[in-house]
Amino acid sequence: LASRELQKEDTIFDIGPVTIGGNRVVVIAGPCAVESREQIIESALAVKKAGAVILRGGAFKPRTSPYSFQGLGEEGCRYLKEAGELTGMPVATEIVSPNDADMMKEYIDIFQIGARNMQNFELLKKVGSMGMPVILKRGMSATIEEWLMAAEYLLSSGTEKVILCERGIRTFETMTRNTLDLSAIPVVQKLSHLPVIVDPSHGTGLRDKVLPMALAGVAAGANGLIIEVHPDPEKASSDGPQSLYPEQFEKLMCDLETLSSVV
Ligand code: PEP
Ligand code: MN
């Protein structure tokens, strides 16, 4: 179902006022985690002002350490919905357990499957069956074929609205958090009709590398970007070092506009 052989034209679909796919570049932005009502509203206002069209924020955080901030759960989903309504943006958040799906659909517009759960097949089947848009991140050691087969689980379970997200893979390199595999974009676009976006925040793990790799992703043909932005990154409870200051995000949006008129 994900294959270009079966469907020649690009998949294009609407999420509220936003159209994904085709020649558009859609920017999704917000903090790694929803930390409080005030923090997500402040983030939403900042990213909206700069030109983002979808708000992201994690309510369930899959952290390496069980002692790290795990997210606000349903309360976080509630604040996210409020911030999305206030700014007129659809909202995306990660799901980590099939048991949360029915609760979450009351608050959110887009489910995100994280890199760590890309091959959590029971989760994929449940999320697919909701029929809602899904951002499917590439697993950190997943081949493109495995990633597309994970998309196949979503599509065969009942949703047509799958967005693939390249977020960097694990390599021997340690200077960046992950190695952003930009060649995956043209490879995927040849094999599949699904939209593909780039996450330069997790792809590099470093704030000052986010701008160049965001531009590179768009130059490579990505249908969108997902960027972590925090009103006060130094105080972020997760992924502070890779989160942009609102001013940096504004700069990114300006540079993106210049680039888009070139490519
Ligand atoms: C995230 O988007 O905050 C996240 C945890 O991403 P990934 O699953 O790509 O690590
Ligand atoms: Mn994050």
Summary mean pLDDT of the chain: 97
State the Cα–Cα distance between residues 23 and 21, nearest whole angstrom. Answer: 6
Identify the nearest ligand to the CA of 62 by its number.
1
Model pLDDT, residue 261: 78
User: Domains (ranges, CATH) in the chain?
Assistant: 13-258 (3.20.20.70)
Nearest protein Cα to ligand 1, atom 1: 32
205 has pLDDT over 90: yes
Identify the nearest ligand to the CA of 115 by its number.
1
Tens digit of pLDDT for each residue in 179-197?
Answer: 999 999 999 999 999 999 9
State the Cα–Cα distance between residues 26 and 52, nearest whole angstrom. Answer: 8
Residue type at position 219: A
Atom of ligand 1 nearest to the CA of 117: 8
Q: Is the CB of 202 under 6 A from ligand 1?
A: yes
Q: Around Cβ 23, how many Cβ atoms within 10 Å?
A: 9
98 has pLDDT over 90: yes
Model pLDDT, residue 59: 98
Of 88, 89, 138, the C-alpha closest to 112 is 138
Cα 79 to averaged position of ligand 2 atoms, centre (Å): 18
Tens digit of pLDDT for each residue in 112-154?
Answer: 999 999 999 999 999 999 999 999 999 999 999 999 999 999 9
Of 146, 124, 120, the C-alpha closest to 135 is 124
Q: What are phi and psi for residue 76, nearest 5 degrees? A: -65, -40
81 has pLDDT over 80: yes
Q: What is the rounded average pLDDT of the residues 45-73? A: 97
Q: Is the CB of 177 under 6 A from ligand 1?
A: no
Long-range own/partner contacts, residues 9-15 (CB < 8 A, 24 or more apart): 9/193, 10/193, 10/195, 11/160, 11/162, 11/193, 11/194, 11/195, 12/195, 13/133, 13/160, 13/161, 15/54, 15/90, 15/109, 15/110, 15/133, 15/161
263 has pLDDT over 90: no
Nearest protein Cα to ligand 1, atom 9: 115
Model pLDDT, residue 260: 83
Q: Are 214 and 252 in contact (CB under 8 A)?
A: yes
Kindly state the percentage of the chain with pLDDT values over 70.
Answer: 100
The pTM assigned to this predicted structure is: 0.98
Using pLDDT thresholds of 50, 70 and 90, give the confidence band for residue 25.
Answer: very high
202 has pLDDT over 80: yes
Model pLDDT, residue 117: 98
